[in-house]
Amino acid sequence: MHGGGDATSDLNDSQWENQIALVEGYDPRDAIWVAPRAPSDAWNMWFTDEIDALFERLITDMIVFEGIDPNKVYIGGYSAGGDGVYQLGPRIADHFAGAAMSAGHPNTASPLNLRNLPFAIHVGAEDTAFDRNLKAEEWGHMLEMLAAADPGGYPNQWQVHAGKPHWMDMEDAVSVRFVQGFTRDPMPAKLVWRQAELTRPRMYWLAVDEADAMPGALVRASYAGNSVAIGEASNVTSLHVRLADAMMNLDEPVRIEQAGRELFAGMAKRTIAVIDRTLQERGDPSVIYSAELTVQLR
């Protein structure tokens, strides 16, 4: 995602053209480099309401027309595009195998949803505008603490580049190689889902109704064997748990519990309706579910 922002269309066009040309410097391996033009010339051009749907459709089109591996889709951005990575990485973490943020600012974003999304942060030490350098270090330390508290989660790479201003002379290109070393797990055994200011109806194998899609709402959940455990859940009363044979044996009973309280016990029925709905939602064959159970939380 290119830089620019609250500026003229000509300036943002030039930033877009520059991002296309930077493919040689970033040198993604065995990949298709897609550099879209932001649909608006606003300061938040990469995380306005329409961007989620835009990227979902772009990924679907790339699956259908280019035959890409949906588990090897990566997002990156510089400056205003880096702002977008800070926002979209956590907000739609389930779409990507890695995210590379360069010279951006997180604004109100939270790193909690990055439990299963490798995240790279690169900023120049002299990039003091909007405290980009300080925010990069702050996020780097937050990701390290989250990873230490949750083994196997929050893979990260971060660096504040000494002597570099806003433009880092391509020193941030190491982030591309870092993220390309990962493949998305489309149905991770453990996830953290915190709703951003722009809420989402689903994250990996969890979904909520509109009434439960509130900014700041939080759910932690995991599965092992044929059991699903709902951990912390705040501002969420009802939860849709989606299941697939890739997650567990759906020919055997399933149990869902929260803090020792049984929320469901029994067979999770496979239905064509769930298969169709989850395919239509994303157009991604890796995240098709065959059963869905709805549970009421405390």
Residues 6+ apart with CB under 8 A from 92: 52, 55, 56, 200
Q: What distance in Å separates the CA atoms of residue 75 and residue 278, rounded to the nearest whole number?
A: 23
Domain boundaries, the chain: 9-179, 190-296
Share of the chain above pLDDT 70, in %: 100
pLDDT for res 196: 96
Q: What distance in Å separates the CA atoms of residue 233 and residue 11, rounded to the nearest whole number?
A: 44
pLDDT for res 278: 97
Residues 6+ apart with CB under 8 A from 35: 1, 2, 16, 19, 20, 23
> Could you report the per-residue pLDDT of 124-154, keeping only the tens digit for each?
999 999 999 999 999 999 999 999 999 999 9
- CATH domain 9-179 topology: Rossmann fold (3.40.50)
Q: What distance in Å separates the CA atoms of residue 237 and residue 214, rounded to the nearest whole number?
A: 11
> Could you report the per-residue pLDDT of 56-113, keeping only the tens digit for each?
999 999 999 999 999 999 999 999 999 999 999 999 999 999 999 999 999 999 999 9
In one-letter notation, the amino acid at residue 239 is: L
**Cβ atoms within 10 Å of 43's Cβ, excluding its own:** 14
pLDDT for res 167: 97
Mean pLDDT estimate for the chain: 97
Q: Which of 243-247, 264-268, 272-276, 279-283 has the lowest mean pLDDT?
A: 279-283
Q: Please, what's the b/e burial string for 177-206 (b: 16 or more CB within 10 A of its CB; e: otherwise)?
A: ebbbebebbbbbebbbbbbbebebebbbbb
pTM comes to 0.97
- The mean per-residue pLDDT over the stretch 242-261 comes to 97
> Could you report the per-residue pLDDT of 180-213, keeping only the tens digit for each?
999 999 999 999 999 999 999 999 999 999 999 9
- The mean per-residue pLDDT over the stretch 159-171 comes to 98
Residue 205: phi and psi, rounded to 5, are: -100, 20
Confirm if 164 and 78 have CB atoms less than 8 A apart: no
In one-letter notation, the amino acid at residue 216 is: G
Share of the chain above pLDDT 90, in %: 99
Which pLDDT band holds residue 298 (cuts at 50, 70, 90)?
Answer: confident
